[in-house]
Amino acid sequence: YPVERAQGYFGQFIYYLDGPRNIPQTRRQLAIAAGFGVGAPAAAVMLEELIAWGVRDFVSMGMAGSLREDLPPGSIVLCDSAIRDEGTSYHYLPDDSDVFPDRALTEKLADELSAAGLPFARGATWTTDAIYRETPVEVEYFRKKGALVVEMEAAALFAVAAHRDARIASCFSVSDTLAYLEWKPEFHSEATRETLEKLFRVASDVLLR
C-alpha cells in the first residue's frame, strides 16, 4: 500500500494511505496510526489528539487473546462491547455499565466482513491494564460474563469516543489463547499476520467508502 508519513505533530505515528488512487470514488483520506504505545492510556491519548485535530471516524484493529477454545489464533472477532477492567474509561463515563462502540459503524464493519467472505465471531472483550495478571480465576470469571477475548485498549477507546461524540468500531485478530487456562502466544504466526492484513483491507473499505 502506498503511504505517506505525516509531517509535524503526528509525524512519528501517522501514515496517510493514498485513498483516491486506490478507491477512485472516495473523497476521504485514511490515516493509519501505529507505534504509539500499548494499553488504554496510550490509546486514549492518541484518540483524544486525533479527535481534537478533526478526525471523526475510527476503526481500531489489532490483536487479542482468546478466552474460548473455538476461537484459535487467526480467528476474527468483531467487538460489540467492552467489559471494563482498566482505569482510563472511568475518567470519561460513569462506572456502572459496560461500554460500546458506535452501532452504525460496527454494523458497517460486520457487513464488509461478510461481503469479503470472512467468518467472524461477534461479542464482548475484556479490557485489562495488567498484561501479565490474566489469572485462571479471572479468565473463567470474564468468560462467564460473555467475553470472547482479552486485550488492553477497547474499553478506553469506546469511552473516549462516546465522550467526544466520535464514531469508533473495533475488530481483532486472535493472536494468543488463554482458553485452556495457560498462555499460548502466537503473535508472530502466519495465521495472525494474515488475519491482520485481511482486517486492514476491510477496515480501509469501511472508512474510505
Largest CA distance in the chain: 51
* Ranges under pLDDT 70 in the chain: 18-27
Domain with residues 57-208, CATH architecture: 3-Layer(aba) Sandwich (3.40)
pLDDT at 87: 96
pLDDT number for residue 18? 65
**Distance from C-alpha of 89 to C-alpha of 100, rounded to nearest angstrom:** 11
Q: For residue 145, what are the contacts with CB-CB under 8 A and spacing of at least 6?
A: 83, 124, 126
Q: Where are the domains of the chain?
A: 57-208
pLDDT at 157: 98
pLDDT tens for 104-149 read 999 999 999 999 999 999 999 999 999 889 999 999 999 999 999 9
Q: pLDDT at position 29, please? A: 81
